[in-house]
């Protein structure tokens, strides 16, 4: 190895390439800093140090990219890391073996499928495939806060603030599980401000109901009955999808939802039009435990294609399935029903309102839902469901 000398820009530039092999020059001013010159004329700075008795060479950068002063600064930082007990070789190996976004997603999905509701997992899959798939092969540490901020802003502009906020929540949650894969870096989704969300107030207006009912009549019975049950009970889509005969009592005219979004059971009164639909569905049940059976012995799941057809056929704009649930509450409010009764009918749970709900019997709730549904059906011209049904079955709950 040549004799050490004090590196300067001029002397580094003047070094001639060797005819064969690589030549390492030592900096006399900064211990451990070396410059490697190849026969092709390439010049690269290294920091060289013995760690645990073994020579360790850490690449710092090309001489065309680093000035002499910059190379010395980077070398001193490496020296500081080693003094703190960090091994650059181990650090490089850790980064080489660091999980990718795809690997983190696969790990997160196993957790989500075991702990989250199927609908929630389904939505997470949609968000990953639509927004995070381009990052699939990137290492976790390469995703910076600015990357997540830019993605959050773009999704907010193009897909809405609600979608953007849910995506940000997914990124944060995924990185919170990254330590289980050995990742020790930061969570790039932290301390990013969520967009302010406005609660939706969309519901079907009187002039829209008739077209909505007409569009439903053009669908298969199971789809028509499914969306009518959403409207007549005000229940969440996932609960109606998983509705079981064992939880329906046609004689007492109620449906017990074993578990709602709030994690508690809810008893839903069944008004006459809802009973008429359920009695008709008993005739085509064919032994299925589900009121709305799907494929492979499972229940109906998120019939999005049917919803798109219904909305287009009815000429509706900016309407989502959840707005059907909101429609019942809005029509109840239009019938001067009190907010506690509306909350009980829709299964809302709040710390203040729960005590009020617990003192309410089903009778006023049933009366309130009945008034609202009668008004909706009349406005929409759907008179076939206005007549009281003849209750089928015996004195026991169906199922």
CA distances from 213 to 218, 304, 383 (A): 9, 17, 11
Tokens coding 186: 């930061």
Tokens coding 30: 């900064």
CA distances from 190 to 32, 176, 186, 187, 235 (A): 38, 10, 8, 6, 34
287 and 274 together in one domain = yes
91 and 111 together in one domain = no
Whether 326 contacts 202, CB under 8 Å: yes
Q: Name the strand (E) or helix (H) holding 238.
A: helix 237-241
Q: Which of 39, 70, 96 is the last residue of a domain?
A: 96
90 and 113 together in one domain = no
Confidence tier at 149 by pLDDT (50, 70, 90): very high
154 and 300 together in one domain = no
At 355 the pLDDT is 34
Hunting for tokens 């207006």 — which residue is that? Answer: 205
- CB-count burial class (<10 Å; 0-12, 13-18, 19+) for 121: middle
85 and 108 together in one domain = no
Q: Which of 96, 118, 144 is the last residue of a domain?
A: 96
Range picked from 157-161, 188-192, 378-382 for highest mean pLDDT: 188-192
At 296 the pLDDT is 85
At 19 the pLDDT is 92
C-alpha 274/C-alpha 226 separation (Å) is: 10
Tell me the average pLDDT of the chain. 85
For residue 84, the domain's CATH number is: 3.30.160.390
Strand partners, 46: 34, 59
Residues near 395 by Cβ (< 8 Å), separated by ≥ 6? 251
Whether 155 contacts 184, CB under 8 Å: no
152 and 88 together in one domain = no
37 and 176 together in one domain = no
Picking from 217, 202, 233, 218, the residue whose alpha carbon sits closest to that of residue 326 is 202
Above 60 in pLDDT, residue 189? yes
C-alpha 47/C-alpha 35 separation (Å) is: 9
With residues binned 3-state (H G I as helix, E B as strand, rest as coil), the percentages for the chain, rounded to 5, are 50, 10, 35
C-alpha 329/C-alpha 343 separation (Å) is: 8
Q: What are phi and psi of 257, to 5 degrees?
A: -85, 115
Task: Extract the runs of DSSP E, i.e. beta strands, from the chain.
Answer: 23-26, 33-37, 43-51, 54-62, 248-249, 254-257, 266-269
At 335 the pLDDT is 67
C-alpha 91/C-alpha 61 separation (Å) is: 17
What pLDDT digit, counting tens, does each position of 115-148 carry? 887 878 888 999 999 999 999 999 999 999 999 9
Q: Which of 96, 113, 133 is the last residue of a domain?
A: 96
C-alpha 149/C-alpha 129 separation (Å) is: 19
Residue range 180-207: mean pLDDT, rounded: 84
Residue range 383-397: mean pLDDT, rounded: 60
Picking from 264, 255, 202, the residue whose alpha carbon sits closest to that of residue 366 is 255
Above 90 in pLDDT, residue 24? yes
252 and 332 together in one domain = yes
250 and 300 together in one domain = yes
Higher-pLDDT residue of 192, 345: 192
Hunting for tokens 């409010």 — which residue is that? Answer: 333
175 and 126 together in one domain = yes
173 and 291 together in one domain = no
Least trusted range by pLDDT, from 68-72, 116-120, 227-231, 391-395: 391-395
**Three-point CA angle 3, 8, 14, nearest 5°:** 75
Domain limits for position 318: 206-385
Above 60 in pLDDT, residue 12? yes
Any domain includes 193: no
The number of distinct structural domains making up the chain is 3
172 and 224 together in one domain = no
Evaluate the CA torsion angle 110, 115, 116, 117 in order and state its sign.
positive
What pLDDT digit, counting tens, does each position of 224-277 carry? 999 999 888 888 888 899 999 999 999 999 999 888 766 678 888 898 999 999
Whether 212 contacts 316, CB under 8 Å: yes
What pLDDT digit, counting tens, does each position of 349-377 carry? 653 332 332 334 456 677 778 888 888 88
Any domain includes 187: no
For 221, the 3-state DSSP assignment is helix
C-alpha 43/C-alpha 232 separation (Å) is: 77
């Amino acid at each position: 190895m040549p004799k050490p000398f004090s590196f300067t820009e001029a002397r580094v530039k003047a070094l001639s390439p060797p005819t064969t092999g690589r030549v390492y020059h030592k900096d006399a001013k900064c211990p451990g800093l070396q410059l490697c010159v190849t026969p092709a004329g390439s010049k690269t700075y290294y920091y060289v140090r013995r760690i645990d008795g073994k020579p360790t060479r850490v690449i710092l950068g090309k001489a065309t990219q680093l000035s002499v002063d910059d190379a010395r600064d980077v070398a001193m930082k490496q020296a500081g890391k080693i003094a703190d007990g960090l091994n650059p070789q181990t650090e490089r190996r850790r980064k080489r073996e660091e999980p990718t976004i795809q690997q983190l997603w696969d790990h997160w999905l196993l957790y989500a499928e075991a702990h989250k509701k199927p609908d929630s997992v389904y939505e997470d899959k949609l968000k990953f495939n639509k927004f995070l798939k381009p990052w699939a092969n990137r290492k976790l540490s390469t995703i910076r806060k600015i990357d997540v901020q830019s993605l959050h802003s773009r999704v907010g502009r193009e897909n809405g603030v609600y979608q953007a906020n849910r995506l940000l929540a997914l990124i944060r949650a995924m990185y919170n599980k990254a330590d289980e894969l050995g990742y020790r870096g930061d969570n790039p989704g932290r301390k990013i401000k969520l967009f302010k969300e406005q609660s939706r107030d969309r519901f079907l207006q009187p002039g829209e109901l008739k077209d909505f009912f007409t569009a439903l009549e053009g669908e298969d019975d199971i789809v028509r009955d499914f969306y009518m049950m959403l409207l007549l009970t005000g229940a969440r889509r996932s609960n109606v999808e998983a509705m079981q005969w064992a939880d329906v009592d046609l004689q007492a005219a109620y449906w017990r939802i074993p578990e709602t979004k709030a994690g508690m059971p809810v008893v839903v009164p069944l008004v006459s039009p809802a009973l008429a639909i359920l009695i008709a569905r008993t005739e085509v049940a064919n032994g299925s435990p589900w009121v709305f059976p799907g494929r492979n012995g499972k229940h109906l799941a998120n019939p999005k294609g049917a919803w798109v057809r219904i909305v287009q056929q009815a000429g509706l704009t900016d309407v989502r399935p959840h707005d059907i649930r909101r429609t019942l509450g809005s029509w109840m409010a239009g019938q001067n029903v009190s907010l506690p009764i509306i909350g009980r009918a829709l299964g809302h749970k709040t710390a203040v309102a729960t005590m009020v709900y617990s003192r309410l019997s089903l009778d006023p709730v049933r009366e309130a839902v009945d008034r609202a549904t009668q008004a909706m059906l009349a406005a929409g011209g759907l008179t076939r469901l206005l007549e009281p049904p003849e209750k089928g079955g015996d004195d026991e709950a169906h199922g």
